[in-house]
Structure 1
Amino acid sequence: MTRSRSATLFAFALLLPATIYILFIVAYPLVDTFTLSFTDASLRRTVKWVGWVNYQKIFGGDFATVIIRTFVWTFFSVGLKMIIGTCGAVLLNALVPGRALFRVLTLPPWIVPMAIGIFMWGWMYNGQFGMISGILQNVGLLDRPLAWLAYGGTAFGATILTDVWIGVPLVTLYLLAAIQSIPKDLYEAAWTDGAGRFYRFRRITLPLIVPALVTMSMLSLIATFNSFDIIWILTQGGPNGQTTTMIIDTYKTAIGSYKYGEGAARAVMICLFLSVFCFFYFRVISKISSGEAK
């Protein structure tokens, strides 16, 4: 056996565990879900092949509204997390007294178990004894208690606010690490030339953390699009379905109504939407990057 062939076999041996993991943990469930979406699988013992019926039911109902709501929820949530996280990273990177303490204080929303944090927000949204309604009444912005989770508009905004609170620390710390990797010489040269803080941020900081922004926005988008815990614990998709997103609708169909075939079809649609979006997202980013390189 030649040395090159031995090295090739050794490389394949190193890849084998990851390949097995992808095949049995990722590929097999994905193929099985896709196959299940063409059946009428439920609690019945018999399973019939129904073809595209489950997908026709999706587009024949109000699923289009659910899709639009999911994209709106994801857009505002991810957008706010990226804006607040970027501003927080810049502030935490500044040379101010107590900077280490401020960095530690950004961690609790991320460290606290998600369910406990969401229940805490649920208590604050309560109209009778919730802190938010009480404060707004004390300052005169409300004349009576407001149950934030009882109305579609306020419940939708409340779920976004909770998701932003949970997700901002990770975005902030990730972007803070990216900012700290920027050479200090660039800032010193710009400061010597008389550049102000905003100019330095716009011409130095922001362009150099674009790769980190792209990566974090993509990871945050996928996690937010598939976010289940926040909406389910706060509203369970209510009131009147006003906070029902694609993942909540899939859960209600497959687990709540025991319609596994229809739920699988909805899961396939979620995977398809995210795959198509990620594909075009990376295409656009690569073109922008290649244009800047030229």
Structure 2
Amino acid sequence: MTRRFDAFPYLLLLPAALLTLAIVAWPVMETFRLSFTNASIRATEDYVGFQNYERLFSGGFVAIIWRTLLWVTLSVVLKLAMGLFGAVLLNAAVPGRTIFRVLVMPPWIVPIAIGVFMWSWMYNGQFGMISGLLQRWGFLAGPFEFLGYRNSAFLATVVTDVWIGTPLVTLYLLAAMQTVPRELHEAAWVDGASRFYRFRRVTLPLIAPSLATMALLSAIWTFNSFEIIWILTEGGPRNATTTMIIDTYKTAISRFQYGAGAARSATLLILLMLLTGIYLLLLNRMARRARRLEEASA
């Protein structure tokens, strides 16, 4: 007996599908279309083929890509490391841990612009707290402008991004740790396993999918992070903190080169899609490993 096709569920999904096409698919397709034109502030535009991409990779954009990857890698690794360490501490049975869980939230709750302006003041060489303390402790002979030099400005943006993003990573990993069955820890403890061994062989494998998910989300957010760098340095000094999103903004908005800016946006989208594909492969492998661990303990 053949089943009749029921179109009603698809009709219910149609408004959401049309909305997704309108706010996601169409802008993406329009961006790719513009990347093959010389669109600018002028009313007309011409098709130029891959000219924007050729200019993109024959100039300094490759260096910007590597700088972006370095910025994202440093930021994500530090957020994951500090978030994992914080989650372990907040998961411990210590008095007042609820208060500590609340106190870890302010960097993420405070609006990004306000938090970044606070860090900008702290980085100030003449009046900032960091320079003042380093001078008082004898590490600096005089005022130091952290945002005025290439290396220090780059590291300053990384520190600020880590400060903003770590609380979310901490709470996410804390929630993942609390789903680990206590029976597994108790069985390992009875067998004489140390606390570090239980964390490495029980907790870490079971929260690995959550850790990978947070790594991907954090990487995407950091790739697209604009406010932190723009408020602190606007991509300076001498392009030391110019990432792909900053360069795209300067090209498309400040210089009104919409075609060239679209080519940069398309390149950023492709990189993020590759990153997502790698994540999905790793997540499937981690999920299979976690299932094998649960089956072995059953």
Please indicate, yes or no, whether the TM-score normalized by the shorter chain is above 0.5.
yes
Percentage identity across paired residues of the two chains: 58
Tell me the secondary structure at the aligned position of residue 22 of structure 1: helix
> What code does the residue aligned with 1:74 have?
V
Q: In the alignment, which residue of structure 1 is the partner of 2:205?
A: 207
- 182-191 vs 40-49, which moves further: 182-191
Q: Is 1:272 matched up with 2:258? A: no
1:89 and 1:203 mapped to 2: Cα distance? Answer: 17
Q: Is 1:162 matched up with 2:160? A: yes
1:177 and 1:4 mapped to 2: Cα distance? Answer: 43
Q: In the alignment, which residue of structure 2 is the partner of 1:40?
A: 38
Q: How many pairs align?
A: 292
Residue 53 of structure 1: CA displacement? 1.1
2:251 and 2:143 mapped to 1: Cα distance? Answer: 34
CA deviations on 1:252-291 (whole Å, 9 max, x unpaired) are 0000100011000100000011112221332244345446
CA deviations on 1:108-159 (whole Å, 9 max, x unpaired) are 0010000000000000000001011111111111111110000000000000
Q: Is the 8 A contact 2:206 2:290 kept in 1?
A: no
TM-score by length of 1: 0.95
Runs of 4+ aligned residues of structure 1 deviating over 6 Å after TM superposition are none
2:88 and 2:7 mapped to 1: Cα distance? Answer: 48
CA deviations on 1:44-100 (whole Å, 9 max, x unpaired) are 111111111111110111000000000000000000001110110010000111101
Residue 192 of structure 1: CA displacement? 2.2
Residue 293 of structure 1: CA displacement? 5.4
1:64 and 1:234 mapped to 2: Cα distance? Answer: 23
2:35 and 2:120 mapped to 1: Cα distance? Answer: 35
> What code does the residue aligned with 1:154 have?
S
Q: In the alignment, which residue of structure 2 is the partner of 1:252?
A: 250
1:73 and 1:245 mapped to 2: Cα distance? Answer: 8
- 10-19 vs 239-248, which moves further: 10-19
Q: Which runs of 5+ in 2 are unaligned?
A: 293-298
| Aligned ranges 1:125-274 → 2 under 5 Å | 125-274=123-272
2:255 and 2:156 mapped to 1: Cα distance? Answer: 27
Q: Which one of the candidate residues 29, 52, 55 is aligned to 2:53?
A: 55
2:2 and 2:172 mapped to 1: Cα distance? Answer: 42
CA RMSD of aligned residues (A): 1.7
Q: Which runs of 5+ in 1 are unaligned?
A: none
Residue 168 of structure 1: CA displacement? 0.4
Q: Is the 8 A contact 2:251 2:258 kept in 1?
A: yes
1:3 and 1:76 mapped to 2: Cα distance? Answer: 57
